[in-house]
């Protein structure tokens, strides 16, 4: 390094510029792409599209981020695609959530582990909901759970994750908290994304829906569904304050779904640091705070190594929960 370069590096450090920011300056995504591992309308789709739009609005991307929906296997098809075919793609990020950690924890992505990709950053936490169609005679969460308890076959619950996935776990956690000891009796039907699950609810094929508040909000606003309970410790602020929590109805069930991104395991450090920096800048922006407020996202600021460690802990915790309720041995 020349004397001039050394002086510049020291000056940058003195001014408080992070090494991450310095490394990130050297890479610009040529064809930024986000894979949403589900059909349009669900939480992963929301994450890709909203983050892509906001990155461009803020000038953090100078090109439109292409969103590709790659459904199947509760995210497993997308995970395998990234690991096996796009391992060194520097332009690619993939929407992830607690559902991703759940599938990895349960070994549901055959041959794949969380260490095969690089975990980029979180963009918030999305509390779970249990809902019914707007015209359903079921008015409260205890009423729904009573029906499940007394006649399990009479109620089918739809979700956008595979059997044993995060959407499934949320309704099982609520059932268990209500005193339903054999949670395997809860009839859960899996669909490729929350949008498809709600479509089946509206068609009358199922009686209830389990998902996240961000994917449910549009259907609430359109008058199609009614939220029985939010799986949060207390009522959410703003537009979401009208939705009761499970806890206030006597069901001590909490389910927070983090939302974020992973990248190919072979992505260069320079590209990885760039994506971490961009998502960090997005998260800190006033625009993203407005997006979070409008969509019921709770704060969760984790980037780079901190996010990697958080996902590892999540996977370990979900493995234990899954054993406790008999999903895995």
CATH classification of the domain holding 223: 3.40.190.10
Alpha-carbon distance of 147 to 56, in angstroms, equals: 47
Same structural domain for residues 155 and 204?
A: yes
pLDDT below 50 — which residues of the chain?
A: 1-24
Number of domains observed in the structure of the chain? 2
Residue 171 lies in a domain: yes
Q: Give the pLDDT score at 11.
A: 37
Q: Scanning the structure block, which residue is given the tokens 């050394």? A: 6
Same structural domain for residues 243 and 200?
A: yes
Same structural domain for residues 312 and 279?
A: yes
Q: Give the pLDDT score at 9.
A: 37
Of 231, 256, 281, which marks where a domain is finished?
Answer: 256
Model pTM above 0.95: no
Same structural domain for residues 147 and 42?
A: no
Of 211, 236, 256, which marks where a domain is finished?
Answer: 256
Same structural domain for residues 97 and 237?
A: no
Of 229, 256, 283, which marks where a domain is finished?
Answer: 256
Q: Scanning the structure block, which residue is given the tokens 């990895």? A: 104
Question: Which residues constitute the domain of residue 156?
Answer: 127-256
Q: Give the pLDDT score at 180.
A: 92
Here the CATH number for the domain that contains residue 68 is 3.40.190.150
């Amino acid at each position: 390094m020349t004397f001039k370069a050394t002086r510049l590096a020291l000056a940058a450090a003195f001014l408080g510029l992070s090494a991450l920011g310095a490394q990130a300056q050297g890479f610009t995504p040529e064809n930024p792409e986000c894979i949403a591992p589900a059909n349009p309308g669900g939480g992963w789709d929301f994450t890709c599209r909203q983050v892509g739009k906001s990155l461009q609005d803020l000038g953090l991307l100078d090109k439109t981020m292409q969103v590709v929906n790659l459904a199947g296997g509760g995210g497993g098809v997308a995970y395998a695609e990234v690991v096996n075919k796009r391992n060194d793609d520097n332009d690619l990020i993939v929407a992830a959530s607690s559902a991703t950690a759940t599938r990895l924890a349960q070994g549901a992505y055959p041959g794949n582990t969380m260490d095969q990709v690089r975990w980029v950053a979180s963009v918030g936490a999305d509390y779970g909901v249990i809902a019914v169609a707007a015209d359903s005679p079921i008015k409260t969460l205890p009423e729904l759970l009573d029906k499940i308890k007394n006649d399990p076959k009479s109620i089918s619950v739809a979700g956008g994750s595979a059997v044993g996935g995060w959407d499934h776990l949320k309704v099982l956690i609520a059932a268990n908290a209500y005193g339903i000891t054999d949670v395997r009796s809860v009839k859960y039907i899996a669909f490729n994304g929350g949008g498809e699950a709600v479509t089946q609810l509206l068609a009358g094929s199922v009686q209830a829906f389990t998902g996240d508040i961000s994917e449910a909000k549009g259907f609430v606003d359109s008058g199609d569904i009614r939220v029985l309970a939010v799986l949060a410790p207390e009522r959410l602020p703003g537009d979401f304050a009208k939705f009761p929590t499970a806890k206030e109805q006597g069901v001590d069930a909490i389910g927070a779904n983090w939302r974020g991104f992973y990248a190919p395991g072979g992505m260069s450090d320079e590209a990885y640091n760039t994506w971490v920096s961009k998502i960090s800048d997005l998260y800190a922006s006033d625009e993203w705070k407005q997006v979070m407020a409008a969509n019921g996202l709770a704060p969760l600021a984790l980037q780079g190594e901190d996010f990697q460690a958080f996902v590892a802990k999540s996977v370990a915790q979900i493995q234990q929960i899954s054993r406790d309720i008999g999903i895995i041995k």
